[in-house]
Amino acid sequence: MKHLMGEGWHLRPAGGATGEAYVAEQGEQKIFIKRNSSPFLAVLSAEGIVPKLLWTKRLESGDVITAQRWVNGRELKSFDMNSSRIGRLLGKIHRSKELLDMFKRLGNEPLTPDRLLEDLVDKANHLGVNESVVEDAFVWLRNHIQDIHVDDYVVCHSDVNHNNWIVSEDGSLYLIDWDGANVADPALDLSALLYLYVPRNEWEAWLDSYGCSLTPELIKRMNWYMVAQSIESVLYHREKRQLVELNKWNTILTDVLTKVNVRISE
């Protein structure tokens, strides 16, 4: 990686789960380097959704290295997430035809409810997970899957955790880390953001800034996707043996099932 930067640049790991991100510094200059970032980073940059893309280089190995402008700022905290600015940016992302066209050109298949449920069941079987709360959740998902199909899919970030939102010193807002993006029902993003961060009595106002209304149909879809994503998080932390996070997501899953009137088996 160092030979790509030339003389005088110093690289250090930027952290993250993949270990493929670096901070490159030379004097006052500072840029963010990543290996095999999202293939539609250029579109995200052009629309101001991520920090500006500076250059892209393809290596002989086939790996692609990208460099972005370094942003001095901070990650958002949980209490920041009910801001109308978050709603406006997520609405802009979901309505972006450029992002959707780029994603389709890459040949990615939409993440339909059936495909999501099938993937979750396969992973649970692979891990040997048979806890009653997960089994009850799967039963509920199967029983309600016919209620949540939509015709208009959008590009979803798929991990709208507060740590992936950055506000710069000049006040610009960005949503970063697009490696897990999908074409899916917008309720995939909306459910996690609203359930985890926005008080229920503020959902209507938040969705107004996003650009839609809180309808019974949307609530059904968000319920379904929140149950599915809670299972996904339980399985992820179970596989990683991260017990604190596993217990947290087991509690979240139980709470969500209670809200949708599921009686948890003993």
Residues 87 and 186 in one domain: yes
- Which of 159, 170, 177, 208 is the catalytic position? 159
Q: Which of 54, 70, 86 delimits the end of a domain?
A: 70
Indicate the number of domains in the chain.
2
Check which CATH number belongs to the domain holding 221 and give it.
3.90.1200.10
Same domain? 144 vs 114: yes
Each residue's pLDDT tens digit, 187-203: 999 999 999 999 999 99
Tens digits of residue pLDDT in 38-69: 778 889 999 999 999 998 888 878 788 888 99
Is residue 172 domain-shared with residue 89, that is, in the same domain?
yes
Pairwise CA distance, residues 165 & 82, whole Å: 12
Q: How many CA atoms lie within 13 A of 125 on its CB side?
A: 7
Q: Tens of pLDDT along the chain (266 residues)? A: 555 666 678 888 876 555 478 888 888 788 988 887 777 888 999 999 999 999 888 887 878 888 899 988 999 999 999 999 999 999 999 999 999 998 888 888 899 999 999 999 999 999 999 889 999 999 999 999 998 989 899 999 999 999 999 999 999 999 999 989 999 999 999 999 999 999 999 999 999 999 999 999 999 999 999 999 999 999 999 999 999 999 999 999 999 999 887 666 55
Q: Is 159 a catalytic residue?
A: yes
CA distance 248 to 174: 27
User: Does residue 266 belong to any structural domain of this protein?
Assistant: no
Query: What pLDDT, on a 0 to 100 scale, did the predictor assign at position 205?
Result: 96
Establish if 136 belongs to a structural domain: yes
Q: pLDDT of 228-252, one tens digit each?
A: 999 999 999 999 999 999 999 999 9
Q: Is residue 96 a part of any domain in this protein? A: yes
The answer to whether residues 93 and 217 belong to one domain is yes
What residues are paired with 11 via a beta bridge? 24
Q: Please check whether residue 264 lies inside any domain of the structure.
A: no
150 in any annotated domain? yes
Of the residues 70, 85, 119, which one is the last residue of a structural domain?
A: 70
- Proportion of the chain in helix, strand, coil states, percent, rounded to 5: 50, 15, 35
The predicted structure's pLDDT at residue 48: 94
Give the range of the structural domain holding residue 235, as residue numbers without chain letter.
75-259
